[in-house]
Amino acid sequence: MKAVVDVAIKILQKNGYRITKQRQSLLKYLSGFRDQYVDITTVDEYLHQLYPGMSHNTIYRNLKEFDEMGIVEQRIKNGNTMVKYQCDFVHQHHHHFICRRCGQVQELKMCPMDFFAEQLPGCQIEGHHFELYGLCSKCASLVKNSKK
C-alpha cells in the first residue's frame, strides 16, 4: 500500500503541493478504495475523526484537486459524489465494470470509443464516460445459488 501512496505523493510534489500529514492520511485512507467507490461524506467523517479542526471545504477541495491530478476517480451515484483511488496510474484513461450488489470495481482494458467514432464521421468527440453495471462473478454465483 505504501508504494501506491508514494505514487500519489510524487504527483502532488510534481504539481507543487505540500505533503502535509492530513494529505498523507487522506491518501492512505483512499488507497484502501482501489476497487470500490466510497461516498465522500464517509471520507469527510473519517478525516474529522483524525483531525477535528479540519474544515469540510479543505477535505472537498483536496478531493477535487486529487481528481484533477488523476489521483482519484469520481462518479455520481444517486445524487451523491463517490470517489475511489486511481486503479491505474499508467493508463489513466480507462473504464469500469461496477457490481451493483457489492460495489466491486473492475477495470476494463478496452475503450469503446473507436466503435462510436466510426459512426460519427466528421464529428469531434470531446469527452466520454463509460461504465458497465451488473453482478460480479462472485455475486452472480451467490444470486444463482440462492434461487435453487
Confidence at residue 60, expressed as pLDDT on a 0 to 100 scale: 93
CATH number, domain with residue 105: 3.30.1490.190
Q: Flag whether 99 is marked binding.
A: yes
Average pLDDT, the chain: 86
Query: Which stretches of the chain drop beneath a pLDDT of 70?
Result: 1, 87-92, 148
Q: Are 59 and 42 in contact (CB under 8 A)?
A: no
Domain assignment present for 25: yes
Helices in the chain by DSSP H: which ranges? Answer: 2-14, 21-30, 40-50, 56-68, 113-118, 137-146
Does one domain contain both 68 and 50? Answer: yes
Rounded percentage of the chain residues whose pLDDT exceeds 70: 93
Closest among 59, 23, 25, 54 to 40, alpha carbons compared: 59
Confidence at residue 1, expressed as pLDDT on a 0 to 100 scale: 59
Q: Flag whether 123 is marked binding.
A: no
Confidence at residue 127, expressed as pLDDT on a 0 to 100 scale: 74
C-alpha cell at 19: 505533503
Confidence at residue 143, expressed as pLDDT on a 0 to 100 scale: 81
Q: Look at the chain and report how many structural domains it folds into.
A: 2
- Tell me the pLDDT tens digit for each residue of 78-121: 888 889 988 665 556 777 777 888 878 887 777 777 777 888 88
Does one domain contain both 63 and 99? Answer: no
Q: Flag whether 96 is marked binding.
A: no
Q: Is 70 left (phi over 0), alpha (psi -120 to 50) or beta?
A: left
Domain assignment present for 6: yes
Q: Flag whether 87 is marked binding.
A: no
Domain extent for 110: 95-146
Three-state SS string over 89-102 comes to CCCCCCEEEEECCC
Does one domain contain both 42 and 110? Answer: no
Does one domain contain both 15 and 77? Answer: yes
